[in-house]
């Protein structure tokens, strides 16, 4: 029994001693893994492609990362890259005390290297982290069907096996490196963003259409609120978008045809200025103003016509001219005499009115006196009777 207990204690002591070593996962699936990814599998000349360098299974880095190195190899004969196109992930830069980026030529291939020295008290959060990305531009003369390949150079990961601030207890993990990623170069895309034809149903453009001429104009009546525009792109792979041809306002309207070439970069915009006329009543009010101005000229012409019509009736000799003069004098005398007679009649009427008024006053006075006398007599008789 004592021998059995001693064996169990010895085994326990050995397991305790080996515990720090066993804390590093032994299974390959649990080890940190460097991987690559591209944002597209087909790319065309003069277009861009972005490659991401990632580290998976970061939870296996038990006590944090002491040093991380990731190197990416690409084909400089097909691709171009600039320092500014290398973007280190913010998570890495926030952890790192020092992040170094290199663009080094090696064996006719360009090698992009990123070294990261994290802080002692930090580790990469989560189970997968992007380390950095690189955006490449495909050169213009790359033949269609060319395969672009991106692969790792040296990829090293040193982790802390125990907690020590001086990083002396750092061990390199045999991290896995996933195979290369590829993308295929497609055909050269057309840069033609021109129109082959342009017209408006029922109206003629102010100038003959030309592919290099982008501005045109038409005028439509007030009743027209939309126009039908016909157009065709010069390249069958180009796309075009029409706007502004409906809900036309009175005045000027901009109708636009935006053309995008097959490459998605080259663009050209054609415009038609459509002028919609004002309402008919507005036009009539504007036209009536000149007619008002012309009326005085017609009035002025009437007197001249009257004078010309009277001119033949004027007497030719001097004797007839004097006859109207004497007739005017006689008529003036008769008019004066008539007026005098009317004045005399009015005077006579006034005299008659005064006589009538006097007679009425006298009669009224006599009647009043008689009434007064009657009252006096009645009063005297009444007093006598009382006595």
- The pLDDT, as a whole number, for residue 272 is 98
Query: 206-217 pLDDT, tens per residue?
Result: 999 999 999 999
Give the residue extent of every domain in the chain.
30-185, 195-276
- Predicted local distance difference test score (pLDDT) of residue 193: 97
Write out the two tokens for 134: 């690189």
Cβ neighbours of residue 230 closer than 8 Å, sequence gap 6 or more: 197, 198, 199, 200, 201
Q: Give me the pLDDT at residue 114, please.
A: 77
Contacts of 270 (CB under 8 A, 6+ apart): 195, 198, 214, 215, 216, 231, 256, 257, 259
Looking at residue 169, what is its pLDDT?
A: 64
DSSP state letter for 277: P
pLDDT of residue 281: 79
Q: State the residue for tokens 């080890």.
A: 31
- Residue 331's pLDDT is 52
Q: How far apart are CA 247 and CA 257, in angstroms?
A: 16
Confidence tier at 345 by pLDDT (50, 70, 90): low
Confidence of residue 8 (pLDDT cuts 50, 70, 90): very low
Q: DSSP secondary-structure letter at 203?
A: B
Residue 358 pLDDT more than 90? Answer: no
CA distances (Å), 167 to each of 162, 192, 232, in order?
9, 60, 69
What is the pLDDT confidence band of residue 275, given thresholds at 50, 70 and 90?
very high
The listed range with the strongest mean pLDDT (197-206, 281-290, 312-321, 339-348) is 197-206
Range ranked top by mean pLDDT from 63-72, 122-131, 186-195, 368-377? 186-195
Architecture of the domain spanning 30-185:
Sandwich (2.60)
First-residue to last-residue Cα distance in the chain: 184
Mean pLDDT for the stretch of residues 232-252: 96
| pLDDT value for 295 | 43
Give me the pLDDT at residue 333, please.
60
Supply angle C-alpha 18, 19, 21, rounded to 5.
70
364: three-class secondary structure by DSSP: helix
Pairing of strands 48-56, 79-80: unpaired
- Greater pLDDT, 152 or 251: 251
Whether the pLDDT of residue 237 is over 90: the answer is yes
Query: Is the model's pLDDT at 165 over the cut of 70?
Result: no
Q: Which helix (H) or strand (E) holds 21?
A: helix 2-22
CA 148 to CA 45: how far, in whole Å? 12
Sign of CA dihedral 62, 64, 67, 69: positive
At 354 the pLDDT is: 59
pLDDT of 127 above 50: yes
Tens of pLDDT, residue by residue over 16-39, are 444 443 334 434 457 788 889 999
Bridge partner list, 104? 111
Asked whether 36 and 180 are in contact (CB, 8 A), the reply is yes
pLDDT at 381: 76
**Higher pLDDT, residue 117 or 185:** 185
Mean pLDDT, to the nearest integer, of 121-142?
78
Supply the DSSP symbol for 219: E
What topology is assigned to 195-276 in CATH? Immunoglobulin-like (2.60.40)
| CB 197 within 8 Å of CB 232 | yes
Question: What average pLDDT is seen over the chain?
Answer: 74
CA gap 138, 78 in Å, rounded? 6
Phi, psi of 13 (to 5 degrees): -65, -40
């Amino acid at each position: 029994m004592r021998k059995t207990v001693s064996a169990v204690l010895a085994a326990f002591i050995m397991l305790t001693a080996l515990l720090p070593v066993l804390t590093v996962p032994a299974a390959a699936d649990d080890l940190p893994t460097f991987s690559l990814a591209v944002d597209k599998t087909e790319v065309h000349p003069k277009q861009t492609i972005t490659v991401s360098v990632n580290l998976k299974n970061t939870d296996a880095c038990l006590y944090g990362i002491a040093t991380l190195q990731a190197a990416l190899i690409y084909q400089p004969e097909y691709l171009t890259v600039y320092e500014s196109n290398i973007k280190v992930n913010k998570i890495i830069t926030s952890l790192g005390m020092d992040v170094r980026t290199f663009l080094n030529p090696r064996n006719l291939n360009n090698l992009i290297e990123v070294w990261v020295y994290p802080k002692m008290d930090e580790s990469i959060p989560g189970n997968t982290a992007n380390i950095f990305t690189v955006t490449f531009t495909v050169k213009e003369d790359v033949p269609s069907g060319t395969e672009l390949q991106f692969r790792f150079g040296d990829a090293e990961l040193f982790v802390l096996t125990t907690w020590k601030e001086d990083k002396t207890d750092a061990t390199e993990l045999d991290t896995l490196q996933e195979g290369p990623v590829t993308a295929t170069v497609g055909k050269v895309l057309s840069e033609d963003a021109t129109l082959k034809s342009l017209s408006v149903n029922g109206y003629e453009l102010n100038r003959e259409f030309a592919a290099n001429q982008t501005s045109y104009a038409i005028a439509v009546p007030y009743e027209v609120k939309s126009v039908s525009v016909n157009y065709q792109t010069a390249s069958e792979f180009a796309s075009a978008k029409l706007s502004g041809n409906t809900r036309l306002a009175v005045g000027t309207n901009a109708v636009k045809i935006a053309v995008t070439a097959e490459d998605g970069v080259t663009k050209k915009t054609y415009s038609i200025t459509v002028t919609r006329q004002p309402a008919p009543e507005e036009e009539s009010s504007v036209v009536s103003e000149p007619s008002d101005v012309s009326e005085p000229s017609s009035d002025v012409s009437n007197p001249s016509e009257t004078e010309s019509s009277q001119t033949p009736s004027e007497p030719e000799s001097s004797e007839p001219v004097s006859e109207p003069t004497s007739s005017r004098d006689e008529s003036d005398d008769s008019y004066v005499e008539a007026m005098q007679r009317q004045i005399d009649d009015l005077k006579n009427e006034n005299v008659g009115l005064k006589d009538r008024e006097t007679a009425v006053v006298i009669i009224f006075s006599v009647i009043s006196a008689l009434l007064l006398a009657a009252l006096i007599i009645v009063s005297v008789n009444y007093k006598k009777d009382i006595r």
